[in-house]
Every structure is written in structure tokens, then in C-alpha cells.
Structure 1
């Protein structure tokens, strides 16, 4: 039963991530259609992430006592409506508005799916169940996101991307309603207990780490299609294939990270982060499409995708008394990182061009590594006191 719940949670994240990140592959088309710059089109991603960051903890606390099946079904219903309306090519202001509406329930869905899958598992199996759920992020980058991008390029119509998003949301909604058992919350934790983790310096340090690490990812990944097009000289079909490659190696990386996390959370997090820092330099110097570019993107996907999982595990470990709220804070700070990372890169793109984004990624990731050292020092001080 627990594996079944984890796999349905994974499917839910596939639907959610397809909606959130599906615009990445079509940003150039959207910018052209609406007659705006690529950095302004990037607001469709950063605004979504900003709403998640601000609303996440409050929405998760508010919803913490509701039946988990009901929460997941309602959330996917809203994602479905978003995909349908977006596919109708509304004015840009309306597209922006309808895009951010499901962002209010985004952290609720992730927290609920993870909590449902790990509720009764021991520590070792809990990381495995979490890895299955979070694996939906990598799977979406293999399947739904590149498929949506490919169809948009094939028919030269970005609306097909949103049609795919709506179709996936519908499948997930039906799956939740028909296969997921009712999951009432046995004991709702008090707001005081949940908010208490915000007084822990170690937890705050881990939250800032999550902000910086996820932010580093999206300084470049947000403009993935535009980067491959202008720097690596790829056409739309090749970009779709590179998204697929990125996702395939990402799922493999997520599997490896899930295994390693069950043994050592901090060390695993540091390994993937340091490796991500190292990949920024060859990415910056990559040129027109070649065999080396192919391998570079494969390695990039392997190293980057697990960072979502490692960041959450790194934070939740510091707040075992309120895992769902800690998870929502992780999601909020991560999405704040997405918003800030995307926006900062947008500014650099406007001033220095798209090739500057890996350098911004290097700076964010380097700051995240420093924050890990700060957290370690705080932990040492707590032990001594």
C-alpha cells in the first residue's frame, strides 16, 4: 500500500512539474508570440515560483488537517483548469494570472504527497519513499516536458505544450480519485509546534541553503531552450531531444541520490552540489553542438535533478518534529530560489547575453556550499552548548 501511495504521489508531481516547468521549452516561442523579450517571458516561471515561496508555508499549515486525498484531487483539478485556459492563448496578463493560481496549492501537493508516502515508514525507507515521490520531477523532464516542447515545435504552435499539460493533469486527477485511498489526518499538529522550527538557527541555515542551491539550478535551466539555441546552435527538435536526455540521466541521478541519502544526507548533498559547481565551467565554454555537448548535457542532468531531493532531505532532517511544515518551507525557499535565480539571470542576459547564465549559476552554487559550512558550524555550537 505504501509503495502504491508513493507512486501516485510521483504521478502527481509529474502533473505538477509539467505545469510549472513546461514553459521552459517554449519560452522563445512565447516571447515571439507576445512580442516581448525572453527575460520578460521568464516571468511566467519566476512569478509562479514567487507565489509558491510566499504562500507555501501558510497554505500548508492551513491545509494540514484536511484529508490528503481530497487535497491532492482539488489541487490537480486546478492544474487541469490552468492548462485548458492557457492553451487558448489568452492575453499575456491573463496567461500570467492563470499560471500563478495553482502555485498557491503547489507546496500543499508536494508536502501532502511526501507525507502520505513516508507517514509510517522507518528512516531508511522514508528516504526511499521520498525519492519515489520526488522522482516525478525527473520523470517529467524525460517524458511530458520534452513531449510538450516537441509538439509545440513540430506544429510551430506553443499552445500544444499547454494541451499536453492539461491532458496529464486530467490523467493524474482520475488516478487520484479512483486509486488513492481516503487518507484522513489522524492528528493535526498545532500551529505553535509547526512554527517552532523557525526558531532553530540550524533549520534557517538549511532553508537558506535550499534557496541558494535551487536558485543556482534555475539561473541556467530556466533559459535551457534559449541557451541551447543561441550558444549551442541547436534547432527546436534537437532541443527537445536534449531535454529528454537531460531527464533520462536525471532520473538515474535521482535513483543514485535516493540510495545514498539513506546512508548519509549531508555528504550526499555536498557531493552533488560540488559536482554541479564543477559543471558550470565546461557549460560556459561549450560551443556549437558536438559529441562533447551531448555528454555535457547528460552529466548536467545527472547532477542537477537530484538536487531537489537532496535539498528537501537536508532540510527535513533538521526538523523531525514537523516534517510536513519543514517540507513546505523547503519548497517555499526552493521556489524563492527559482524566482530569484531566474530573475537575476534575466538581468545578466539583458546586459551580457545568454552565455553569462552558467557564471551566475556558479556564484549561487558557491554561496550554497558556504551555507552548508555555516550550518555545520551552527550544529557544532549547539552540541557544545
Structure 2
């Protein structure tokens, strides 16, 4: 049953590229729509906070629907919204084009993960979701840089037009080749899914996702700026380093998939602890090519691993409503992304760019402590 998972991974590539590609296209969008870059940047905030606010509710409501039809419908919505972005005449139309896919992303990602677990069984959940996460990693390694290159060569509208075509093509592939897989876990009622929020352990898992992603994106949001201003790289060299940062994530994705199947919380704390090393070392290593590459490799691999580990943590913590739990992780992650960008901006303005890695490391260290605390005896009755 490898083909259905690979098809979902390919669809996930298009879905996640749609979310993050705009970062590299903001200057062109701002110029063409006659707004400031900071105003155009609100499109990123709109997407992230829409996912955070609406994701769990939409996922709980959509869990009742046939998966194949739902996935195809979401991809068709992505095709339409990207096409709308490609012809947007002002920032308000562009905002609508970003709002619509933000509603579909958490539903797709949560239910695709649950479907993968249904296919292979819960014992291999981490490895199955790792294959789907491969599409996420590829979106970072290839989708975002290639989309930015298309934007540079043909204009930002062309990048969204290509995404629209890709989304339509993936919808057709799912229609032709994705089977209707039987659910191994019976669907819960809407109230039953929300009932899992009473668990203190689950609440701790969601808070852990917020902390992890806040720490990661406190620094990652401004990584390009760090490489330009602290290392003195030009735009081309920054692009190659960012591609390398994403490429080592392929290794982290594989390691995370295996580790999380053994012990989710220990895997989370372990990868966070290793990430602290990379975050603390990145600024002092800026003038050393080898040192900088090692620091970024540690950071990039652990960051990719934590994308996967955080997702599976929530699924395993709520086996009665895995899709809803996954959507809670997506909501917490996007809340963390938004908070991390704000925290990182504050650190730059008040403490300076050179303090960014250390500040992010402080947040990640708090994630290690929270993960270990959730493993303590007081949470074990609810964990079972």
C-alpha cells in the first residue's frame, strides 16, 4: 500500500508549498499591488493564524466525509485559490486567495496523516507519516526555492499559476489512483472529538508544539537575514545555504519517523536538546564555512525531525480522535510560527540580530523541560 501514501505525499508537497512560497515572493507582490512589504507580510500572518484558529474545528467537522472525495475537493480548492492569487488585482483579493487555502491545509494534513496510519496500522505510524512528511521536506528543499526562481524569472503571478496547475494535476492523480481505504479507527462524534481536550496530557502536548515551533521560527524566520548581515553572503549564496538547510532535513525526517515510534515525548525532548547546540553555535560560526555548515546541519536536521515528531506525538496521545489531535498540533504549530516571528522581530529590535540564535535556544530548552515533565509519573494515568 505504498502508492496511496506516495500520492498523499505528492499532494502534501503542493499544499505546503502554497503556504510557504509567498515568503520569497513578498517584495514582488508588494510592488505590484502597491503596498509596503510589511503590509504584504500580513498575508503570511493571515494564513498562519487562520490555520491556528479554524483548523481543529474544520478537521473535526470534516472527519465524517469520505477521504478520497475530501482530498480531491481540497486540492481543487487549492487550484482555484492559487489561480485567483495569480490574477489578484489588489491586496484584498490576494488576502482572499490566501484565506481560502488556509482553511483547507489543516484538514488535508491531519486527515492525510490519519489515512496513512489506517493503511499501515498504528505500530508504524511514525514511518508512514514520515513518507507523507517527505512531501513537506521537499516543499522546503525544492518547492520554495524553485517557486522563488520562477517568480524572479517570470513574475510572482507565474509562480502561483504553476501551483494552480500542480494542484489540479494532483487532484486528477488522486481521483485515478487513490483507493478508498477502510478506517481502522471508528470515527468519533464531533462532541467526542472535542472531549479529548479535557486530558491534561493532551493539553501539555499542544503547549509543547506551540513552544517548539515558537523556538524554531524565532530564528528560522530571519535565517536569510542572518546569513546576509552576519555572514556577509549575497542573495545567491543565501539561497544555496537555505536549500542545504532543507536538504539535511531529509535525514532528520527519517530519523524522526523511527524515533517517534519508540517514544514520542523522549524523541521530542531529544531532538530539541540537540537543536539547542545548533542554535547556540550558528552565530559564533558565521565566519567559519565548516563551522556554519555544521551548525546549520544540526539545526536543519532536528527541525525537520521535530515537524514529524510533533505531529505523531499528538496522534499517539489521542488514539480515539487522531485526526482531530493532528489538527491541534497543526494549530499549535502555526500559532508558534506566528509567535516566533513576533518574538524574533522583538529580539532583533531590542537585543540585536546576533542574539537571535541564543534567544531561540532558550525557548527550545523550555520545550525540553516541558517534554520531560510530561513524561513524569503524574501524567502516566492519563497517558494510558
Tell whether the structures are fold-level matches, with TM greater than 0.5.
yes
Aligned ranges 1:221-300 → 2 under 5 Å: 221-287=220-286, 290-300=289-299
Residue of structure 2 in register with 1:172 after alignment: 170
1:56 shift after superposition? 0.8
CA contact (8 A) 1:46 1:338 kept: no
Q: Find the aligned partners of 2:356 and 2:166 in 1 and give their Cα distance.
A: 31
Higher alpha-carbon deviation: 194-203 or 358-367: 358-367
Q: Which range moves more in the overlay, 109-118 or 86-95?
A: 86-95
Q: What do the CA deviations read for 1:125-177 (whole angstroms, capped 9, x no partner)?
A: 22211111122111111221111123334x28444433443343233222212
**Paired residue for 1:368?**
367
Count of residue correspondences? 383
The alpha-carbon deviation at position 214 of structure 1 amounts to: 1.5
Deviates more, 1:352-361 or 1:50-59: 352-361
Deviation at 1:327, TM superposition (A): 0.9
Q: Secondary structure at the match of 1:105?
A: helix
Deviation at 1:123, TM superposition (A): 3.1
- In structure 2, the partner of 1:334 is 333
1:25 shift after superposition? 2.9
> Root-mean-square deviation (CA), in Å?
2.7
CA distance in structure 1 between the aligned counterparts of 2:260 and 2:328, rounded to whole angstroms:
20
TM-score by length of 2: 0.90
- The 1-side partners of 2:199 and 2:350 are apart by 39
Query: Compared with structure 1, are the counterparts of its residues 371 and 19 closer, same or farther at alpha carbon in structure 2 (3 Å cutoff)?
Result: same
**Alpha-carbon distance in 2 for matches of 1:84, 1:383:** 46
| Stretch moving more, 317-326 or 34-43 | 34-43
Superposition pairs for residues 76-115 of structure 1, below 5 Å?
76-88=75-87, 90-115=89-114
1:42-57 maps to which residues of 2 (within 5 A)? 42-57=41-56
TM-score (norm: length of structure 1): 0.89
Distance in 2 (alpha carbons) for counterparts of 1:344 and 1:32: 27
Report what 1:73 is aligned to: 72
> Offset of 1:38 from its aligned partner?
5.5
Aligned residue number for residue 126 of structure 1: 125
Which residue in the other structure is 2:376 paired with? 377
- CA distance in 1 between counterparts of 2:123 and 2:141 reads 27
Moved more, 196-205 or 355-364: 355-364
Q: How far, CA to CA, are the matches of 1:91 and 1:119 in structure 2? A: 43
| Shift in alpha-carbon separation, 1:384–1:315, aligned structure 2, 3 A | closer
CA distance in 2, matches of 1:289, 1:51: 40
Distance 1:383 1:59 in 2: 26
Secondary structure (helix, strand or coil) at the match of 2:120 reads: coil
Shift of 1:184: 7.2
CA contact (8 A) 2:43 2:95 kept: yes
SS at match of 1:188: coil
> Gaps spanning 5+ residues in structure 1: where?
none
Please give the secondary structure, in 1, of the residue aligned with 2:129.
helix
Contact 2:314-2:326 at 8 Å conserved across structures? yes
